[in-house]
Structure 1
Amino acid sequence: MKERLTSLDVFRGMTIMLMTIVNNPGDWGNIYAPLEHAEWHGCTPTDLVFPFFLFIVGISTVLSMPVQKFDQSVLQKILTRALRIFLLGLSLNFFSKIHLGSLEGIPLMFVRLIFTAIITVLLLGEYDRKKQLYVAISLFILMMILCFGGFEEFSSVRIPGVLQRIAVVYLIVSIIYATTNATVQIIIGLVCLLGYWALMTLIPVPNVGPANFEKGTNLAAWLDNYLLPGHLWVTSKTWDPEGILSTLPAIGTGLAGVFTGKLLTNNFPKNKKAVYLLSAGVVGMMIGLLWNDVFPINKALWTSSYVCYAAGLALFVLGILYFVIDVLGFDVWVKPFVIFGVNPMLVFFFSGIIPRALNMIKVAQPENLENPTEGLVAWLYSHWIVPFFSEPKNASLAGALTYLLIWFVILVWFDKKKMIFKV
């Protein structure tokens, strides 16, 4: 069994922990600025979570495929994993759309949890690889029929999403890595970034006018709405931050991880690897900041400048972790981060399901005439956390940290049982 790269597990764990905090505040109306996405252009720590994931996906692609080869078995493995990740993300979007007759509240919650349990067994279970592929293909076809087959309750299911983009980037990046050499990979990466820049700056937007980078009127937004009308981000409805065209530069983020993975698996000394990681990180950030002048750093558009800037920061953070953990050997502090880092898919999927399910349990509030019932999670927050804080933002942060602590306890138990869930 090959040795795990501890610094990468720590980096992944830190990213998962930050994701858990920013996705689960106690109160969405009271969040500290670093824990919010940039309003449009710009980049906050929260905007780094997703590109760090894709960067890690690229590294993991190299680590899981030490010998570059591409045959039927490799393609089957890549396709199966990509489909399973995609379907996990899609089933998150299906969760709140599932209904059964007139059921509501706790009975409906159990119906949805049964659906989730079946999906979990099918997509996270360990069984014959060929059967995994057939199951994944069958589930994908079924979900597409539900989305586009005229079923009213599923006519607005969001099809793009975080896991969906991870799946597509993993699929494409893995095939590129397995079938091409470093020179071709660099060319593909440059084409993704420069090509997206050209598309977004040179091509007029149909029915809108000149190319632009504004919300809802740019080329990426037009393509999302043209190809997936009704199946986009519920907040915008007409465009999606994980949309189709912006997946092109996201492939560049994954390839940046591939190049990093090649560096980490190279035979030269560890201290040189750390220097190269840190140096490449500084260069990436500088390119991103310079490019920002003509192609603004923007997560929702996944601009090419954002790719460079975020990849640079990822390289720099990983370089520091690699130097401290793998070069100096100072690793007595890493355990809490590692237990989050080895089970990322479990945390991502169920940290989305649990609040959805628990908020279906309604708690009566007879003293509140405007809101006589409240979801269980919201009730626990308002009654068990808010009273201890005078500052709403502190209460909201405490709510997020409490949820993180609950996950920590769960993952400690999994760690003691040596349970690692892979897609």
Structure 2
Amino acid sequence: MDEAKRMEEGLKLQLDHEDAKDELKEQETINIVDSNVDQHGTYTMAKPVDQQPELVKQKTKRVATLDAFRGLTIVIMILVDKAGGAYPRIDHAPWDGCTLADFVMPFFLFIVGVAIALALKRIHKIKYAVKKIILRTLKLLFWGILLQGGYSHALEDKLSYGVDMKFIRWCGILQRIALVYCIVALIETFTTKLRPTTLRPGRIAIFTAYKWQWFGGFLAFLIYMITTFTLYVPDWSFVDHTNGDEPKRYTVICGMRGHRGPACNAVGYVDRQVWGVNHFYIHPVWRHLKECTFSSPGEGPIREDAPSWCRAPFEPEGLLSSISAILSGTIGIHYGHVLIHFKGHWDRLKQWVSMGFVLLTIAIILHFTNAVPINKQLYSISYVCFTAGIAGIVFSALYILIDVWGIRTPFLFLEWIGMNSMLVFVMAAEGIFAGFINGWYYENPNNSLVHWIKKHVFVNVWHSERVGTLLYVIFAEITFWGVVAGVLHKLKIYWKL
């Protein structure tokens, strides 16, 4: 069987036994297995009931690149979350700019888009598809609020449980993924009868064939840009509950439009009006700026002469910035459409790589002309283009290595993590498993297995907090969960939302 034939079979997936029963009942099923972005990026369609009288278990094949890309994103997330304190250069950029950590969110949204295109390739019953989309969105919202709303957000370090509803954080990673997934998937679903089965000749045929998806992305772009540059931001105040013994109220002077700095941007203003400042993330990365701490670009105490906004909370996954994030999912779904309609490796790669470099060019021009700097906290348009361009190029590189050249062995641990990414996200990235282990200690919370391993097996051996932390993350976090995910894959155990 030649290479192209093998790849095409890799795009045809069969449902597992449980989904197939549901398929017989509904005559169609969407298989979007949630993990963090939690679609496995595969699709299948059931035959009508009268053509499928009995349930036949068929061999399942996957698109390996999708799982590997998703696994890579989870690995990067664990690395920057756990080692970012020791290596500030890989942690989130304090404001303008882009670091390794800043690729995590757009990579998630990109692969969500790719997977949606494959999962919703054909839809027989729109109502049933919408029901599945809404249900999955609600599940993502639930887990997002539970994990990042405050109830178990500090599990690993502080062993604290519970959340004051007055300060619960409504936004977060999974909440943003839920919003983008819901919007992009609903557009794909409601335009199912407007999509072509084959493309017309022409270089832009893939774009015109899915014009409604691009129209949705363009509408999100307009809403974001108009609001960002025209909305008047008045003075605002907040109460600092985290710095000092007694809460203290501060006032931030604004009274302007189109400001792109931390203090008076429209993104923060919209969130203050919608959610309320008490429901923001209380450790915004802008506190790493030189204006806020002498430890910049690392984390440190706030300077006494720091501006008042340095002590304010900020929501990096807020409403207006999430509207801009819809573009990341739109670009991802375009890559999925290319995967569906273009059968040859070279034809796919031409579309993907050229799109990636065009996006990178736009981002670089916008950033270095200071028209719209790359900024993750605001989810600026240049940030969307830059991260989506890098995502497209990385995705293309993995596709060449794994699916074209067949070099899968070095990337198997990424595939395993990608197949069970929701599990690894919750247990590793959110620190639930480490928090559970730390809950069993002797006399002092620092006398737990996790702390002992980190200190005695890594830090003390290398006589370096930084090197020991990095090695701990690589071996005790990433490698450990890669092995766990591999074992679960062999046992065919997956966490599906």
TM range (shorter): 0.7 to 0.9
Q: Which of 351, 362, 365 does residue 287 from structure 1 map onto?
A: 362
The answer to whether 1:15 aligns with 2:73 is yes
SS in 2 for 1:233: coil
Q: Evaluate the alpha carbon distance shift between residue 94 and residue 213 of structure 1 in structure 2; reply closer, same or farther with a 3 A threshold.
A: closer
Q: Offset of 1:238 from its aligned partner?
A: 3.5
Q: Offset of 1:159 from its aligned partner?
A: 1.0
Contact 1:252 1:307 in 2 (8 A): yes
Paired residue type of 2:77: M
Q: Evaluate the alpha carbon distance shift between residue 68 and residue 36 of structure 1 in structure 2; reply closer, same or farther with a 3 A threshold.
A: same
**Partner residue of 1:148?**
none
The answer to whether 1:357 aligns with 2:357 is no
Q: Which of 384, 402, 406 does residue 457 from structure 2 map onto?
A: 384
**Partner residue of 2:388?**
311
Contact 1:32 1:393 in 2 (8 A): no
**Partner residue of 1:299?**
376
* Root-mean-square deviation (Å): 2.6
The answer to whether 1:173 aligns with 2:184 is yes
Q: Offset of 1:323 from its aligned partner?
A: 2.1
Contact 1:295 1:303 in 2 (8 A): yes
* Counterparts of 1:158 and 1:376, CA distance in 2: 30
SS in 1 for 2:279: coil
Contact 1:359 1:377 in 2 (8 A): yes
The answer to whether 1:4 aligns with 2:62 is yes
Q: Offset of 1:397 from its aligned partner?
A: 0.7
Q: Offset of 1:272 from its aligned partner?
A: 1.1
Matches within 5 A, 1:363-402: 363-364=442-443, 377-401=450-474, 402=476
Q: Which of 214, 222, 231 does residue 186 from structure 1 map onto?
A: 214
**Partner residue of 1:129?**
none
Unmatched segments (≥5 aa) in structure 1: 99-103, 116-151, 366-371
Contact 1:222 1:239 in 2 (8 A): no
Contact 2:120 2:188 in 1 (8 A): no
Q: Evaluate the alpha carbon distance shift between residue 404 and residue 332 of structure 1 in structure 2; reply closer, same or farther with a 3 A threshold.
A: closer
The answer to whether 1:209 aligns with 2:255 is yes
Contact 2:80 2:100 in 1 (8 A): no
* Counterparts of 2:448 and 2:409, CA distance in 1: 40
* Counterparts of 1:396 and 1:193, CA distance in 2: 40
* Counterparts of 1:397 and 1:256, CA distance in 2: 33
Higher RCO (Cα < 8 Å, 6 or more apart): 1
Q: Evaluate the alpha carbon distance shift between residue 202 and residue 399 of structure 1 in structure 2; reply closer, same or farther with a 3 A threshold.
A: same
Q: Which of 170, 175, 191 does residue 164 from structure 1 map onto?
A: 175
**Partner residue of 2:289?**
none
SS in 1 for 2:341: coil
Q: Evaluate the alpha carbon distance shift between residue 376 and residue 160 of structure 1 in structure 2; reply closer, same or farther with a 3 A threshold.
A: farther
Contact 1:216 1:222 in 2 (8 A): no
**Partner residue of 1:257?**
332
Matches within 5 A, 1:77-226: 77-93=132-148, 96=151, 153-180=164-191, 182-207=210-235, 208-210=254-256, 211-226=258-273
* Counterparts of 2:149 and 2:343, CA distance in 1: 48
Q: Deviations over 1:399-419 (max 9, x none)?
A: 211211221221122012011
Contact 1:37 1:44 in 2 (8 A): yes
The answer to whether 1:277 aligns with 2:335 is no
Q: Relative to total residues, which structure has the larger helix share, 1 or 2?
A: 1
Contact 2:123 2:129 in 1 (8 A): no
Q: Deviations over 1:361-381 (max 9, x none)?
A: 45546xxxxxx9566534442
TM-score, structure 1 as length reference: 0.80
**Partner residue of 2:281?**
233
Q: Which of 412, 417, 422 does residue 491 from structure 2 map onto?
A: 417
**Partner residue of 1:144?**
none
* Counterparts of 1:190 and 1:40, CA distance in 2: 25
Q: Offset of 1:358 from its aligned partner?
A: 3.6
Q: Deviations over 1:188-213 (max 9, x none)?
A: 21232243123212222123222211
Paired residue type of 1:159: W
Q: Offset of 1:267 from its aligned partner?
A: 3.8
Q: Evaluate the alpha carbon distance shift between residue 294 and residue 94 of structure 1 in structure 2; reply closer, same or farther with a 3 A threshold.
A: closer
* Counterparts of 1:36 and 1:387, CA distance in 2: 24
Task: Report the more deviating stretch, 245-254 or 328-337.
Answer: 328-337
Q: Deviations over 1:41-94 (max 9, x none)?
A: 111122101100000001111111111566221111000111111111111135
Q: Evaluate the alpha carbon distance shift between residue 30 and residue 193 of structure 1 in structure 2; reply closer, same or farther with a 3 A threshold.
A: same
When Rg is computed on C-alpha atoms for both structures, the one with the higher figure is 2
Contact 1:31 1:396 in 2 (8 A): no
**Partner residue of 2:87?**
31
Q: Evaluate the alpha carbon distance shift between residue 45 and residue 93 of structure 1 in structure 2; reply closer, same or farther with a 3 A threshold.
A: closer
**Partner residue of 1:62?**
117
Contact 1:16 1:340 in 2 (8 A): yes
Q: Deviations over 1:122-174 (max 9, x none)?
A: xxxxxxxxxxxxxxxxxxxxxxxxxxxxxx83221211000111011111110
Paired residue type of 1:39: P
Contact 2:267 2:378 in 1 (8 A): yes
* Counterparts of 2:125 and 2:363, CA distance in 1: 33
* Counterparts of 1:260 and 1:85, CA distance in 2: 23
Identity %: 30
Unmatched segments (≥5 aa) in structure 2: 1-13, 15-43, 45-60, 195-209, 236-253, 285-311
TM-score, structure 2 as length reference: 0.69
Paired residue type of 2:282: V
Paired residue type of 1:273: R
